[in-house]
Structure 1
Amino acid sequence: MSGKSPTPGTTAGQGPASSVNYPGAEVEPWIAVNPQDHGNIIGFYQQDRWNNGGAHTLTFSVTHDHGRHWKQVVLPGVSKAAGGPYDRVSDPGVSFAPNGDAYAISLPISWAPDNSDTTTSAIGVSKSTDGGDTWSKPIFIQQDTDGNYFNDKELITADPTSSKRVYAVWDRSNPQGGQPIFFSRTTDGGRTWEKPHAIYDPTADGTWTIANQIVVQPDGTLVDMFFEGSGDSDEGPDGIAAGSHDPDARRARLSRLAETEPSRIRVIRSTDHGKTWSKPSTVADVDPSEIVDPDQHQPLRTGDVVPDIAVDHKTGRLYVAWQDASVTESGSAILLSSSANGRTWTEPIKVSKTPDSAAQGNGQAFTPVVDVADDGTVGVTYYDFRRNTPAPGALTDFWIVTSPRRAAGDPRAWHEQHVGGSFDVTLAAVARGYFLGDYTGLDHAGGTFTALFTQTHPIPDNQQDEYFATIHP
């Protein structure tokens, strides 16, 4: 559902001399199905990824016929390659309101004049009233020009109980080494956005947050899920304060900290549409690990500090999925926990079906995303290496496991289906490791899941594309 670069030949956003761009490389997709018209689906992804943070543009793929035909639409007015003021852009997210309006969020960044560091980061929101065919001029709800403050890992959620309310959430690093959760919302359908403010700040406790994501329960309660790690998020590998805010160098520090310091997944709740928030409750302690290709042991960048959350829109039950190193010899499996109220959570269960292996071998499963279909079926997608062979390249496949809501707590109830692959992940863009994305896209239309994921293929200047699949459990 993607193709070659829609902005070929652009030189915008070069940054340091060490920067390498991968033309035609799409990564990190998100997906949303229009509740007014299930034939209208929007995919959103990074286009032409750089090795050290961001992409030339964010691009939509839009269909109005259930995915039979797609057209590409570049997000306008954000990155320089698309007529905007910023060097690069990253971290796509898109969400449909109940009336069919679509909202997209983006993370634009710019480099210092001497290209030594990123000094500017922002949060942009855009709106479409025609199913993704055209988009409004972006509103930059947060802009920081001091490199000591960096906005990251933002997502947007349109409230399924009101077409006027939309929520944006992200982490914002500070000079004290923390990353509090920042939040903004609109209550008038995107015309105005309230001033962003922190809704949870653990800096004084020596912890940091990332990968915030809001879901809305049927009674209107907001639940924000996030990964919380320990240690100074602005330290280098030797414990020395890092001067660079290069986005991918920063992300590498967070992954190292998550592997060596205590980490956990937590949630905070709001019963007044985001005006006030509860104290955090813990979903589970997490043991993330680095994923490597099983042949050469070269690193992959995956969803190690990016768990995912979904809600059953009938019962309100919450589900969280993540990759974890604590239950398999291979070094990574997909775990799931659920909650009826967001306060207490079930003991995690292993839902991935990847056969185990020696450490860092073919048994590694990674980058899970969870969703709940209208009939209550719970689905979790992920990648693994089970079909890899000793031949050159690291064969990678994409899978889904599903369970009826009544049995989702029983590991034996989960049924697996193959979705995509095999493909060679060593053809992927390199951004602190072979990079398919910190997340993939998963939504549903009635009882059918709609998945958006990244695969590679040996096509010059277009070695990485986004693929769409409809999945009938």
Structure 2
Amino acid sequence: MRLVVGVAVLLLVLAGVVHGQVTTAFRARAAQQISADPFAGLSGAEADTEAEPDIALDPNDPDIVVAVFQQGRFDQSGGCVDPGFATSRDGGRTWITGSLPGLTVAASGSFDRASDPAVAIGADGAVYAQMLPFDVHDCRSAVAVQRSDDHGLTFNAPVLVQDDSSCSVFNDKPWIAVDTFPASPHHGRVYSVWDRIEPAGQPISLRYSDDRGETWSALIAVSSPFFPGGIGAIPLLQPNGDLTLVYAPVGTATAEEVAQTSHDGGVTFAPPVTIESFEGSDPAGMRTGDGLPAAALDPVTGRLYVVWQDGRFRSDGLNDIVMSVSTDGGTIWGPVGLVNVRVPHRPRDRFTPGVAAYGGAVLVVYGARKDVGPRVTMRYVASADDGVTFGRERRLGRTGDLTYAATAGGQRFLGDYIGVAASATTAHAVWCFSARPRLGAPGALHQVALSATFTR
């Protein structure tokens, strides 16, 4: 493991139009690098690159923060050399980092590569890292979960939630959640969701575990027979034990975001409910998770929040960040609202949002780029009134340069998602940042995981 004490980066405030006169619920304290690719271009990967991070807080101890991310990105065939993790025991001030053991060949495992890391923490402090391991020399693809029993300092060997070797099946875009609500009839249940690309479609699929990820239920088809398939499913656990999945259906006439809710612990699901149409796009030359939603549930109020990049409120072909809210457990969704404020004569393309909420405070973090240039910044807005109004858009950390970013199919790639998590007193975000590599660096690229701490 590697101990990283990050160097704080000054947080610059962007002067702009106030979007509702509210007291900012979350305010960024500092941003710092929490990890770096340790593999130095092993096996032909893009050296010195990290991508696609997620983050989680311990529900009983917000000083415990765990992030996961790809390390050593591969361009054309996707995935990474091995996923990494970064764990803080002091609220994000210092971090201990490492690579997930026993998964890929680079970490004494059997798979060629892995992708799409996500992380969740249970009420008992168990940390669950989930990812998609796969081979490039054959057709094997899987969904794997690795549990940590020491609050994210070390991880156990992977347990395969799903393991396929057929060339007609590929498992994609997994996510994980744990029921942490004491009054829930499914308290402690771990949910794994993903989409399975197969000849008949791309169904959203689910398995659950009641023994801390050791064994898993039978495969449950969620989106069938309503859609040919879906992608980007985010599981949201509600205080009463209901489970809502938010995702983007595929194979439909209109691009949209939808929600499906289970009232029996993920065994069966009600028909999908349309949240709203999707009217966004990937910024030119980038892959940013075009159409994938980000979602969060406020564990105090029970409100569900969904955000995505969207161009419906503008005519210049660029994206804003928009949001829809449900106050009834995911059955009815409110009208789409604009989260960010545009500063006149400063056109920015916004992308890849993340969202978290706690006790009526809502935090939305996202990337932004001026026109089609290589310079990118992270931005955030915060609300103190359940997302009804937001404070002004603020800049987070220093400016990045896509010239040195990782790639996916030739497109600049920071990730299809970022991670944001909140507690009663703090919030944390994790994203990937690219800049000119230092002298003597192992390659022409440089992309690392950064994290910021927010206080209320």
Both structures adopt the same fold (TM-score exceeding 0.5):
yes
Question: Is 1:155 the counterpart of 2:175 in the alignment?
Answer: yes
2:152 to 132, 154, 161: 132
Contact 1:448 1:471 in 2 (8 A): yes
Residue 409 of structure 1 pairs with residue 409 of structure 2: no
Q: 1:423 aligns with which of 400, 406, 417?
A: 400
Alignment of 1:287-298 (within 5 A): 287-292=279-284
Aligned position for 2:238: 217
When the two structures are aligned, how many residues end up with a matched partner? 411
Aligned AA (1:209): G
Bigger fraction of residues in helix: 1
Q: Which residue of 1 aligns with 2:366?
A: 382
**What CA distance in whole angstroms lies between the structure 1 residues aligned with 2:225 and 2:280?**
20
Q: Give distance in 2, aligned partners of 1:265 and 1:6.
A: 37
C-alpha deviation, 1:160, in angstroms: 1.4
Tell me which residue corresponds to 2:426.
448
Residue 77 of structure 2 corresponds to residue 66 of structure 1: no
How far residue 409 of structure 1 moved from its aligned partner, in angstroms, is 2.9
Paired amino acid for 1:7: F
Does residue 1:195 correspond to 2:208, yes or no? no
Cα deviation for residue 55 of structure 1 reads: 0.1
- Verify: 1:368 aligned to 2:353, yes or no: yes
By relative contact order (CA 8 Å, sep 6+), the higher-ranking structure is: 2
Letter in 2 for 1:431: A
CA distance in 1, matches of 2:82, 2:174: 16
The 5 A counterparts of 1:258-337 are 262-292=254-284, 299-330=285-316, 331-337=318-324
Quick one: which amino acid aligns to residue 230 of structure 1? G
The equivalent of 1:469 in structure 2 is 452
- The amino acid of 2:408's aligned partner reads A
Aligned residue type for 1:409: V
Counterparts of 2:332 and 2:225, CA distance in 1? 21
- CA apart distance, 1:9: 5.9
What displacement does 1:326 show?
Answer: 1.8
Aligned-residue sequence identity (percent) comes to 32
Counterpart CA distance in 2 for 1:369 and 1:202 is 29
Over the residues paired in the alignment, what is the CA RMSD in angstroms? 2.0
Matching residue within 61, 74, 89 for 1:37: 61
My pick for the range that moved more, 183-192 or 49-58, is 183-192
CA distance 1:288–1:321, shift in 2 (3 Å) = same
Q: Is the 8 A contact 2:293 2:306 kept in 1?
A: yes
Residue of structure 2 equivalent to 1:347: 335
Q: Indicate conservation of the 8 Å contact 2:47/2:72, yes or no.
A: yes
Q: Look up the SS of the partner of 1:111 in the other structure.
A: coil
Q: Which residue of 1 aligns with 2:374?
A: 394
Matched residue, 1:80: 105
CA distance, structure 2, for counterparts of residue 8 and residue 417 of structure 1:
34
CA distance in 1, matches of 2:216, 2:72: 30
How many angstroms apart in 2 are the aligned matches of 1:100 and 1:452?
20
CA deviations over 1:421-459 (Å, ceiling 9, x no partner): 211122101113100000111012323221111111211
Letter in 2 for 1:184: R
Contact 2:37 2:448 (C-alpha < 8 Å) held by counterparts:
no
CA contact (8 A) 1:377 1:447 kept: no
Deviation at 1:271, TM superposition (A): 1.4
2:278 and 2:291 in contact (8 A); partners too: no
Q: What is the alpha-carbon distance in structure 2 between the residues aligned to residue 354 and residue 50 of structure 1? A: 35
Q: Which amino acid aligns with 1:447?
A: T
Q: Distance in 1 between matches of 2:239 and 2:393?
A: 29
Superposition pairs of residues 36-185 of structure 1, within 5 angstroms: 36-52=60-76, 53-112=78-137, 119-161=139-181, 164-176=188-200, 178-185=201-208
SS at 2:119's partner residue? strand
Residue of structure 1 in register with 2:10 after alignment: none
Partner AA of 1:157 in structure 2: A
Cα distance, 1:4 vs structure 2: 4.0
Q: Is the 8 A contact 2:220 2:267 kept in 1?
A: no
Q: Identify if the C-alpha distance between structure 1 residues 426 and 371 changes in structure 2 by more than 3 Å, giving closer, same or farther.
A: same
- 8 Å CA contact 2:159–2:214 kept in 1: the answer is no
Contact 1:26 1:46 in 2 (8 A): yes
User: Structure 2 stretches of 5 or more lacking a match?
Assistant: 1-32
Q: CA deviation at 1:272?
A: 1.5
Distance 1:99 1:197 in 2: 26
Separation (CA, whole Å) in 2 of partners of 1:145 and 1:82: 21
Distance 1:9 1:419, change over 3 A: closer
Task: Report if aligned partners of 2:123, 2:188 keep a CA contact under 8 Å in 1.
Answer: no
Equivalent position amino acid for 1:399 in 2: R
SS in 1 for 2:432: strand
CA distance 1:4–1:379, shift in 2 (3 Å)? closer
